[in-house]
Structure 1
Amino acid sequence: MNHNEIGIEALNQGEIEKAAEAFTKAIEESPKDPVPYINFANLLSSINEYERALNFFQKAIELDDTAAAAYYGAGNVYTLKEDFMKAKDFFEKALKTGMENSDLFYMLGHTLMKLEQPKLAMPYLQRAIELNEDDNEARFQFGMCLANEHLLQEAVNIFTEVVKRDPQHADAFYNLGVAYAYLENKDEALEMLGKAVEVQPDHLLALHAQKLIQEAK
């Protein structure tokens, strides 16, 4: 194995010092190769050294402005720093360089949701699900987009699929309950809210919604 491979294996096993040593050697051997800089940046990000990680991602981009993994990694760091506008910009750059995987589309959708732009987030989340049908969190966020756009029956269909795949998803049950309430199906609304509380007894939003519907009946 080369130094990059040794470093990645060590990082996956939580051996941070061994990984750092291997990536440092990889950089020393190939200072013009962006890959070890990206690997080192990912290591730094994993231990919350966000500013140093961004410096290494930037170095990789300077060496290769088509290094999609560097843009994607920087986007993840900015997400962790809750700078969602910068995160969005870097994810978009990763997309422009040709990266196309479900994680990227999910993260783009996620950041747009954080920026309160659900309509723009929708196609990215939909694409994330198309590329990875098992991504239930992308499915849930897509349902949230639909609900935000008042496409309530479509949202119900998505949230129903979410809880089918994950019967412990309290927030999906809660949002199902809210959607049914808006669709004036109070019995279904109470049933879904009840399931949210079963899964998470301290789900305050679900408990509050339950109380409001029961009082209105």
Structure 2
Amino acid sequence: MDIKKMTLKQLKQKYNALIGSKNYNEIIEVCTQIIQLDPNNAEDFYNRGTAYANLKQSEKAIQDYNKVIELEPNNAEAFNNRGSAYTDLKQFGKAIQDYNKAIESNSKYAKAFYNRGVTYANLKQFGKAIQDYNKAIELEPNDAKAFNNRGSAYTDLKQFGKAIQDYNKAIESNSKYAKAFYNRGIAYGALGEEEEAIQDFKEAQKLDPSIIAKEQIKALEKEFEEKIQQTQDSNEEVQGFQTILEDLKEEHQTEEGDWFKWSKGAVGITLGLIVLALVLVSCGFLESGDTYIVYIFSSIVTFTIIRQYTNAKALRIEASNRVAMAKMFERVKHENNDYQTEFLPKLVDTIVYSTTKEKNNADGLVEKIINGLTKLKK
């Protein structure tokens, strides 16, 4: 029978028949039809949200849990499930806020403590994670997952003895818990107890032949995520480095433009003095020998300014090179030793050469000009 033609009672019966099955798409379809007929029943939104969550459609699940919370502001299960959806989306801050709300609504809600512990562990806040697992175990003393996860938190803190005790408890609560055997094997291996580790790995493999592969995949995924994060951080560093260079370039261009204006002014004044001296000589007010003194004086003034300009430019280049070198050293330290050995000497040589070259171009400028003018007079 077409569900769109069913009555509300028939739809409810249809939903009840689907409880416990994994026909999540059909459950969603039935719940959607129920909601159209009865749009203010929080339970129907909750049921559809749970089906969406099982299908890993977390955004849609959150929308339904939002509606449940709107209709029932103290619904601890809705807060907890919305927190789980946020956790799946790696929005851990929002997830923790929802678990807090769930615990405020129901202080005996072990699952909310457990889920918040998982979220803290994802944030590498293992101390807080352990506190939440403690509470979950206090409320549900036979929760194998809570023992296993607390053991994992202790493993991350390198407290392998405590970790093994928790894995033992998890296995006592669930003797078929492959992941607990696998994790205990890791802890034994870290303590150098290889025989015990091998036995646990074999037992885990026997209980779940895919367990080793699953954990290796998780490890690879974690390593991949860390490499992506490192790449993103490096890209941000490079972008920041490029911004610094662009700012330096603009600043240098402005300063060089100002110096160039002053230099042109100095040259103009010098030419003016020379022309004035020639006019005074032609009018008899100065002797020809006096013009040489004016010429020398004005030339020294002009080229002193030019020398200051070139020295200032060299210093600015050196400053920007030092900034570049610092940023490049920061970037290179993340690379392997061979790359560092090959790259760093070239980087240093290039910077020293560029700085020395700029300085050498300015050294002895005024002295060379005076010597040249003296030779010219002779």
1:65-120 alpha-carbon deviations (Å, 9 max, x no partner):
33323312211222333333322221122112235322222211112222222211
Residues 67 and 183 of structure 1: is their aligned pair in 2 closer, same or farther, counting only changes over 3 Å?
Answer: same
* TM-superposed deviation, 1:156: 1.2
**Looking at both structures, which has the greater relative contact order when contacts are Cα pairs under 8 Å and sequence separation is at least 6?**
1
TM-superposed CA distance for 1:140, in Å, is 0.7
Report how far residue 133 of structure 1 moved.
3.6
Which residue number corresponds to residue 9 of structure 1?
16
Q: 1:77 aligns with which of 74, 81, 85?
A: 85
Q: What is the alpha-carbon distance in structure 1 between the residues aligned to residue 134 and residue 184 of structure 2?
A: 19
Question: Match of 2:157?
Answer: 149
The answer as to whether partners of 2:110 and 2:139 remain within 8 angstroms in 1 is yes
Equivalent position SS for 1:137: helix
Matches within 5 A, 1:87-106: 87-98=95-106, 100-106=108-114
User: Percent identity, aligned pairs only?
Assistant: 24
Q: Distance in 2 between matches of 1:124 and 1:148?
A: 16
Return 5+ residue gaps in structure 2 as ranges.
1-7, 217-378
Match of 2:212 among 199, 203, 207: 203
Q: Partner of 2:61 in structure 1?
A: 53
1:104 & 1:150 partners in 2: Cα distance? 26
Q: Residues of 2 paired with 1:185 and 1:157: CA distance?
A: 15
Give the Cα separation in 2 of the matches to 1:42 and 1:174.
30
**Residue equivalent to 1:110:** 118
CA–CA separation in structure 2 for the residues paired with 1:7 and 1:39: 13
- 1:23 matched to which residue of 2? 35
What is residue 210 of structure 1 aligned with on the other side? none
Mapped contact 1:23–1:39 kept (Cα < 8 A): no
8 Å CA contact retained: 1:102, 1:127:
yes
- Note the C-alpha offset of 1:36: 4.0
Deviation string 1:116-160 (CA, Å, 9 cap, x unpaired) is 222111122222233334432222101111222333222111112
Cα 1:11–1:50 shift into 2, 3 Å = farther
Structure possessing the higher radius of gyration over alpha carbons? 2
Q: Alignment partner for residue 75 of structure 2, among 59, 67, 73? A: 67
Return the alpha-carbon distance in structure 1 between the equivalents of residues 48 and 211 of structure 2.
41
Indicate conservation of the 8 Å contact 1:156/1:176, yes or no.
yes
Query: What is the CA-CA distance between 1:11 and the residue it aligns to?
Result: 4.8
Distance 1:193 1:72, change over 3 A: closer
Aligned counterparts of 1:44 and 1:185: Cα–Cα separation in 2: 44
Shift of 1:61: 2.8
Report the residue type matching 2:45 in the other structure.
Y
Cα distance in 2 for partners of 1:39, 1:169 equals 29
CA distance in 2, matches of 1:202, 1:131: 29
The residue that corresponds to 2:184 in the other structure is: 176
Q: Which has the higher helix share?
A: 2
Structure 1 gaps of 5+ residues are 207-217
| Deviation by residue 1:144-196 (Cα, 9 ceiling, x = unmatched) | 11222333222111112323444444432333233234444444334334444
**Is the Cα–Cα contact under 8 Å of residues 31 and 45 in structure 2 kept in the other structure?**
no
1:5 to 1:122, Cα distance in 2 relative to 1, 3 A? farther
The number of residue pairs the alignment matches comes to 201
